Chain A
Amino acid sequence: MAPVTQRGRYDNRGLAEPDTVAPETAVVSGHTATLDAADLTTRQVNLELRRLLYSCGVTEVTLQNPGARHSLAVGLLLRCRITIEGSLGYFGCGLIDGPEIHITGRVGWSVAENMMSGVIVIDKNAGSLTGAALRGGDLVVRGHVGARTGIDQKGGTIIVGGNAGSMTGFMMQRGRQILCGDVGHGMGDSMYDGAIYVAGKVASLGIDCVEAELVAEDEEFLDRKFKSYRLDRPDTFRKFVCGKKLWNYDNLEPNERKLVL
């Protein structure tokens, strides 16, 4: 077997490349750029994206051959448009604040983790922990999602065209989930606030998750989101919220609640 060629100095885990610099291989044309990731490491891709968006005045990037690498397009803190032609591995597009990202393939665990604002649209399926700790913005998965979707969600909207796995909405604190298909066991377990809209069947509800009435405000919200993303809206939505049986936060420490706003 041929030895793996390393491009730079790696840390003792063989992961980080502290000395790597942006490769400057993207093809730039005005405000747009195309970046081929085929021969680049994860860190090189992310450094090149930051160079283009932060320093070169580029506002639209097409990323080719992502190769299902983990942790691509993370930590981008400005308004821009990125098209990823292919699939991502774990923790894609995490910690972003502002970008609008379109992924034409699939994604692994924890896509859009901690997103503050922006839009992510995924054309195929997503793994578990999709939108973990999401703070704001819209995350749209046209296919199915795995378990614990929106775990610890603190804001924003997750829209799923297909089914969702078990423990979806676990420990959800704010925000909204729109699930067009069926949902697994334990949905909304220990949720503190927020709303989960489901068009399909729910295998079972988690602790302190209850069904609520769908009011005109909910209908307006659902119509608006489906129109924005040009999706067909099912007619069978039901709404689930926190039953407030576990609500003792306010009695213990009122200021604590502000931390999840």
Chain B
Amino acid sequence: MSDVSPKTQFDLADRRLSGTSGIDTEELTGRTFPYQFDQSLVDDIDLVAATPGEDLNWLEDIHLMTEDGVPAVFDRYTNAFLKIHFEIPAGREDEYARKVLIKHLQEGNSYGIWLKHQHAKFPQPELGSWLQGSATVGEDWSPPRLEGWQPPVGH
């Protein structure tokens, strides 16, 4: 077994798209995020406070899964897996999957949410229900125009 800790197994500056047909977040964004590697960065997340109502609400459906043989949580806002590289304490798999996902959303790193800047048609909070006072996007949307295209007669 390697004595190299998970933090040093990956050179974060050197991560690149793998070119495989997977749909994980690292491939979509070309980046990794520190909380994928460091448990202490998500330990303090209060899941009940981060969700509507008196319990886990939508996080009830979030469970730890695997992608490419690596523990991962599914980010429904990007339709992609976010891999978790730190060692997850036994019996707390779902809890840490949920914490990593909430951290990912609260820090605005969900690739699907990035698309709101370009494609949101109506003013709306960028980070939705995860972060109070988040920026507003969609205030200046205009329909994309295809160069050289003319609307059909009658429109």
Contacts and interface: CB of A to CB of B under 8 A. Distances in A.
A136 B124 CA distance: 20
B43 interface: no
Interface residues of A, number: 29
Given A54-B124, A228-B55, A97 B129 contact: yes
A228 B54 contact: yes
A175 B61 contact: yes
A49 B56 CA distance: 26
Nearest to B74: A261
Main DSSP-derived SS at the A contact region: mixed
Given A79-B52, A255-B23, A258-B79, A50 B123 contact: yes
Interface stretch (A106-114, A115-123, A245-253): A115-123
Contact of B76 (A75, A99, A118, A135): A135
A54 B51 CA distance: 18
Nearest to A194: B61
Contacts of B129: 77-79, 97-98, 117-118
Nearest to A116: B58
B9 interface: no
Nearest to A115: B58
Main DSSP-derived SS at the B contact region: loop
B128 A77 contact: yes
Interface in B92-136: 122-125, 128-129, 132, 136
Nearest to A50: B123
Nearest to B53: A119
A138 B58 CA distance: 8
B29 interface: no
A162 to B, nearest CB: 22
Interface of B: 23, 51-55, 57-58, 60-61, 74, 76, 79, 122-125, 128-129, 132, 136
Interface of A: 50, 54, 75, 77-79, 97-100, 116-119, 135-138, 155-157, 174-175, 224, 228, 255, 258-259, 261
20 contacts: A54-B123, A79-B129, A97-B129, A98-B129, A100-B52, A100-B53, A118-B58, A118-B129, A119-B53, A136-B57, A136-B58, A155-B61, A156-B60, A157-B60, A175-B61, A224-B55, A228-B55, A258-B74, A258-B79, A261-B76
